[in-house]
Amino acid sequence: MSETPAINKWVVALSVILPTLMEIVDTTIVNVSLPHIQGDLSISLDESTWILTSYMVSNAIIIPITGWLSVTFGRKRYLIFSVLAFTAASFACGYAPSFLILVVLRFVQGIAGGGLQPVSQAILLEAFPKEQRGMAMAVFGMGVVVGPILGPVLGGWITDNWGWRWIFYINVPIGILSVVLVNLFVFDPDYMKNLKKTAIDYKGLAFLAIAVGALQILLDNAQRKDWFESRFITTLAVIVVVGFILFLAHEIREKHPVVNLRIFKDRSFSIGNIIMFFGFFGFFGTIVLLPIYLQTLMGYTAFLAGLVLGPGALTTLLAMPIAGKLLERGFDPRKLLFLSLLTNAVAVNIMAHFNLSADFWSVIEPRALQGVAISLFFVPLAAVTFANVENEDMGNASGIFNFIRNIGGSFGTAIVTTILVRREQFHQSRLVENLIPTNEAFAQAQHLLSNMFLSAAQQLGIIYKELLRQTAMLAFNDAFYFCSILFIALMPTVFLIKRPPSPKLKKTM
């Protein structure tokens, strides 16, 4: 029986991170191009959002079942197929002649790309010795965290200079290079060749697809349709609840489930996934809020708003290898995780004090601080979550972990945008009460504007416009406060995780 060839771990890391980064960037690169796609394909704003939703739905469905797909088809074969299909779908998206065809192709692209993150993570965790898994997660985290930040910046620049179709064409050379690297340097471990291939769990797969698909559509449309005031959203919520109940009931009884839920018996894995869900809930919430604040209230272009996120990505890249090294030296990952949540809470609390006079550097500083916090979050969290997971279960565990992360980000986006809208309505109703002649500030503003020879109607128009800016700013403050409190609330949960054995101790055994 042939043994798996010995390949340098850093070569393996490069081979799997490249396609992963390509897929993660694609989750956000389209966002800033939607206005251009709308104009070119003559579609409405509501229609254009399906270009995002179709990708996220199919992506979310595939992620949790990648462990089963890897065993059934072979991890290397499945990874190469996924990269090839993703690249081909990207090229086809660039040529899409109509909105409907583009939505279908984005769905296919999401199916192809869904497996890239968990499969790459599983390969990385096995390529590095157990005592170096912190560094493996540092490498993987660079793609996971930097990708969503890089996407809007890259998408804005490509769209402005080359047109929106090139945000898809750019994947072709990267995909081809990825296939070559994976084919040369990635191999299935010996134990995978001996794993028994099981029959397809059709019921579990169907329940999961229905529940996850409905959930993603619900989260993507809930705010615009006013949540449960909409019959469409209420119906989706019922489908989600029933779908997940049927899925859980079936998978627990199934001998060969499409997603093995028994892994949640490991306390560290279960709590780690809870922290991942709420941590990325808060992280993605702030990532969504900041560009909106800069573009709607501060007059930044999409590209400049993306640049504000850049320093945070840079500090993340610099701090992640440091976090990995600290774990290798035996530093308690739970303490790093606690420090991360505290730092994140401080950084987001600074954002909660933004105002309409904030300068460029005042916005960059908390983002840079948050970048450090994110590196201290992802690396130790992944290390403690996977500490007790055996290689044979790595594909299944990685699929679940990445699914939880993605869903956490989707929930974060949906909830913070809802808070933003609702709090803006609240503050507007309160501030409007002060637009009366007996209010000193209102009287002074009217007097100042009257000296500019403006009519009463023009004066009220200017004052009301400023009131809307102030209410929006207060709403942003509230939404940032919410995310800050979330990070604080998560801090005690860190010490519910068992401390993994020290790498130094492992080396001496």
Looking at the fold, whether 434 and 288 belong to one and the same domain comes out as yes
Domain with 448 in it: 259-509
* Most confident segment among 40-54, 163-177, 187-201: 163-177
> 210 in a domain, yes or no?
no
Residue 488 has pLDDT above 90, yes or no: yes
> 242 in a domain, yes or no?
no
Looking at the fold, whether 296 and 419 belong to one and the same domain comes out as yes
> 175 in a domain, yes or no?
yes
CATH number at residue 397: 1.20.1250.20
State pLDDT tens for residues 345-391: 999 999 898 888 888 888 888 888 888 888 888 888 888 888 777 76
Looking at the fold, whether 195 and 265 belong to one and the same domain comes out as no
| Residue-level pLDDT at 445 | 67
| Residue-level pLDDT at 485 | 92
> 406 in a domain, yes or no?
yes
Indicate the helix (H) or strand (E) that contains 106.
helix 99-114
Share of the chain above pLDDT 70, in %: 82
223 closest CA partner among 292, 302, 301, 280: 292
| Residue-level pLDDT at 4 | 55
Q: Which residues of 54-73 are buried (b: 16+ CB within 10 A; e: fewer)?
A: bbbbbbbbbbbbbbbbbbbe
Last residue of a domain, one of 177, 199, 221: 199
> 58 in a domain, yes or no?
yes
Looking at the fold, whether 422 and 497 belong to one and the same domain comes out as yes
State pLDDT tens for residues 9-42: 777 778 888 888 888 777 777 766 777 787 778 7
> 215 in a domain, yes or no?
no
Looking at the fold, whether 302 and 161 belong to one and the same domain comes out as no
15 closest CA partner among 190, 188, 179, 189: 179
Residue 509 has pLDDT above 60, yes or no: no
Looking at the fold, whether 159 and 271 belong to one and the same domain comes out as no
Dihedral pair phi/psi, residue 356, rounded to 5°: -80, 0
* Most confident segment among 163-172, 381-390, 439-448, 475-484: 475-484
Give CA–CA dist 18/104, Å, rounded: 25
Last residue of a domain, one of 181, 199, 217: 199
Residue 503 has pLDDT above 70, yes or no: no
Looking at the fold, whether 146 and 275 belong to one and the same domain comes out as no
Give CA–CA dist 77/368, Å, rounded: 39
Least confident of 121-130, 142-151, 153-162, 364-373: 142-151
Please count the structural domains in the chain: 2
328 closest CA partner among 503, 501, 498: 503
Last residue of a domain, one of 199, 218, 235: 199
Looking at the fold, whether 188 and 264 belong to one and the same domain comes out as no
Give CA–CA dist 472/296, Å, rounded: 9
Residue 450 has pLDDT above 70, yes or no: no
Residue 97 has pLDDT above 70, yes or no: yes
> 213 in a domain, yes or no?
no
> 229 in a domain, yes or no?
no
Looking at the fold, whether 140 and 283 belong to one and the same domain comes out as no
Looking at the fold, whether 290 and 422 belong to one and the same domain comes out as yes
Give CA–CA dist 391/386, Å, rounded: 10
Looking at the fold, whether 138 and 274 belong to one and the same domain comes out as no
120 closest CA partner among 143, 153, 93: 143
Please report, for residues 283, 307, 312, 409, 500, the alpha-carbon distance to residue 278 in angstroms, rounded to integers and kept in the order given: 9, 26, 20, 8, 22
Give CA–CA dist 353/509, Å, rounded: 51
Looking at the fold, whether 497 and 409 belong to one and the same domain comes out as yes
66-73 vs 116-127: helix crossing angle, rounded to 10: 70
State pLDDT tens for residues 49-96: 677 777 877 877 787 777 778 777 888 888 889 899 999 999 999 888
Least confident of 91-100, 108-117, 129-138: 129-138
